[in-house]
Amino acid sequence: MARELHLNLFIHGRGHHEVAWRHPDSAQRAPTDLAHYRDLALAAEAAKLDSVFFADHVALGQDLGYAARGELEPLTLLGALAAVTQRIGLIATASTTYSEPYNLARQFASLDHLSGGRIGWNIVTSWAPAAAANFGQEHQAGIDQRYERAHEFVEVVSKLWDSWAKDAIRDDREAGVYAHADLIQRTEHRGKHFAVAGALNVPRSPQGRPVFVQAGASTDGRAFAARYAEAIFTAHLQKESAITFYSDIKTQARALGRRPDQIVILPGISAAIGSTEAEAQRVWEELNELAHPSVGLSRLSNRFGGHDFSHLKLDQVLSADDFPDPSQVEASRSRAQLITAYVARERPTLRRLLHSLAGARGHFTATGTPEQIADIIEDWFVSGAADGFNVMPPILPTQFTVFTEEVVPLLRKRGLFRSEYRDGTLRDRLGLDPVPSRFDSPTQEQRSA
């Protein structure tokens, strides 16, 4: 079978550009209105996308006067979307640092039941220091500690999701036997961070567990992704770093004994699309003109652990020397590294860097005609930079409408993207192997080993 392109819609308020909320073309509804998300998910489903995705933070962001803050919590939102969609995958972020494994395992297992096997979990360790203060912690744990806990967290919840055999429930009314008690097993996990007896009180879900998605790109993040991730959202300001990342992850996965096709790598793309190049460029410029440089500077500072950039001038050409050593950043380390590498290579002015980051927070941005955007997608897909894309329209819903109406048909014409859904779960659609169960009978091979 030919390689298949995967497309995920990343839904972020009224669009991914930081001032999308002000743009006259963006949604009029409040970002707390279910109808906004329902309509986007239904549009993505009509276009046969693989999935939609919601990011998450467990703290309120900054720049409250200016930025469109205050959104819905993703797991309850996924519950709602599971009920009003039929086929599209539904992916939500949840934190291994600020959740209890038993609670998280139950909610994802329930969502997988509610959706008939369409759920993915974007596993994050939560980099924002403000989050710690909402959970009784004086100081945020360092990146190493967060990942150490994340490894054990994934181990525990994986055991919990493996509590029930596929055929544990008999539901035999005549005999009065509801379940095979010996096909439901306790967890009995005792580790450094967690002690969880189990069993989970939700039966095995259609996919066994949610698809594991990951977006961390630091050294720790990549090692974690190579071990666990089945789909990766990744941010690149340029194709070159996407190729390096792609190759690094697949190599690391192979070294761990995993098949490289079992990790679907989806770089973000935030494209302003117009019927001409000039029109696309105009959309982007309208957005950039609405952006405040001071807000961009404060966000840049956050990415570098609060570093002060206020002495830099907007038209000044930057070099890597203008930035602190990103390997010392404890919060959003990988994003800081990508920004520094981009500056070293492109030598942008501060204004251009801020515009680039305002577009999609460090993800790849582009302007062009549908043909040009389809070219970029095809180019990255065939040249080892991507297995598909995390589609991040700068303005929602209008720029996503253009994407589905103009770009998706081109990708179909080129034989890259599906025209219809096949039956199956999100795992099946992503080409992922079934999740093994501890109750599976050993195969011939295993028996003779």
Binding residues for its own copies restricted to 260-299, rule: CB under 8 A: 290, 292
| Cα of 341 vs its chain's centroid, Å | 22
Six token digits for residue 92: 């939500």
Could you give the CA distance from residue 305 to residue 298 in angstroms, rounded to a whole number?
11
Q: Considering the rule CB under 8 A, would residue 166 count as an interface residue with its own copies? A: no
- Using the Cα atoms of residue 137, residue 143, residue 146 and residue 148 in order, give the sign of their dihedral: negative
x/- track of binding to its own copies for residues 85-124 (CB under 8 A)? -------------xxx-xx--xx-xxx-xx----------
Q: Which of 86, 144, 145, 195 binds its own copies (CB under 8 A)?
A: 195
Known binding residue 147? Answer is yes
CA–CA separation, 256 vs 209, rounded Å?
A: 21
Given 42, 135, 281, 412, the residue binding its own copies (CB under 8 A): 135
User: Which residue intervals of 127-191 are DSSP H helices?
Assistant: 129-132, 143-161
In the bound complex, what is the minimum distance in angstroms from residue 394's beta carbon to its own copies? Answer: 16
82 contacts its own copies (rule: CB under 8 A)? yes
Distance CA 221, CA 255 (A): 16
Residues 227-266 vs its own copies: string with x where CB under 8 A? ----------------------------------------
Q: Is residue 442 exposed (0-12), middle (13-18) or buried (19+ Cβ within 10 Å)? A: exposed
Kindly identify the residues of this chain, within the stretch 364-393, that bind its own copies according to CB under 8 A: none
Range in contact with its own copies (rule: CB under 8 A) among 21-29, 379-387, 415-423, 427-435:
21-29
Token digits for 306? 């609060």
DSSP 260: G
CA-CA distance, 415 to 242, in Å (whole number)? 23
* Residue matched to tokens 């105009």: 282
**ω into 366 cis (within 30 of 0):** no
Give the whole-angstrom CA distance, residue 202 versus residue 109: 7
Token pair of 394, please? 């700068």
- By beta-carbon proximity to its own copies, the closer residue of 119 and 266 is 119
Beta-carbon contacts of 305 under 8 Å, excluding residues fewer than 6 positions away, are 324, 328, 329, 330, 331, 336
Q: Which of 40, 81, 283, 426 binds its own copies (CB under 8 A)?
A: 81
With beta carbons less than 8 A apart as the criterion, state whether 96 and 154 touch: yes
E strand or H helix at 389, and its extent?
Answer: strand 388-391
Total residues interacting with its own copies, rule: CB under 8 A? 78
Closest CB 92 distance from its own copies, rounded Å: 10
Nearest distance, CB of residue 169 and its own copies, angstroms: 7
Stretch that binds its own copies, among 29-37, 260-268, 357-365, 425-433 (CB under 8 A): 29-37
> Which CB atom, from 98 or from 421, has the smaller least distance to its own copies?
98
| Amino acid at site 312 | L
Q: Which of 39, 152, 166, 180 binds its own copies (CB under 8 A)?
A: 180
Range 52-71, binding its own copies (CB under 8 A): 57-61, 64-71
* Tokens at 188, concatenated: 């009995």
CB of 8 or CB of 97, closer to its own copies: 97
352 binds its own copies (CB under 8 A): no
Omega before 397 cis (within 30°)? yes
Is 80 a binder of its own copies (CB under 8 A)? yes
Q: Residue 244: which residues within 8 A CB-CB, separation 6 or more?
A: none
Token readout for 315 is 């038209």
Q: How far is the CB of 331 from its own copies (least distance, A)?
A: 17
Shortest gap between Cβ of 225 and its own copies (angstroms)? 25
d(CA 400, CA 9) in angstroms, rounded, equals: 9
By CB under 8 A, name the one of 42, 55, 84, 243 that touches its own copies.
84
Closest approach, Cβ 35 to its own copies, in A, equals 10
Cβ proximity to its own copies: between 243 and 290 the closer is: 290
Q: How many Å apart are CA 250 and CA 194, to the nearest integer?
A: 30
Q: How far is the CB of 180 from its own copies (least distance, A)?
A: 7
Site string for its own copies, 204-223 (x = CB under 8 A): -x------------------
Query: How far, in whole angstroms, is CA 29 from its chain's centroid?
Result: 24
CB-nearer residue toward its own copies: 284 or 389: 284
Q: Which residues are documented as binding site?
A: 56, 93, 147, 218
Q: Which residues are documented as binding site for FMN?
A: 56, 93, 147, 218
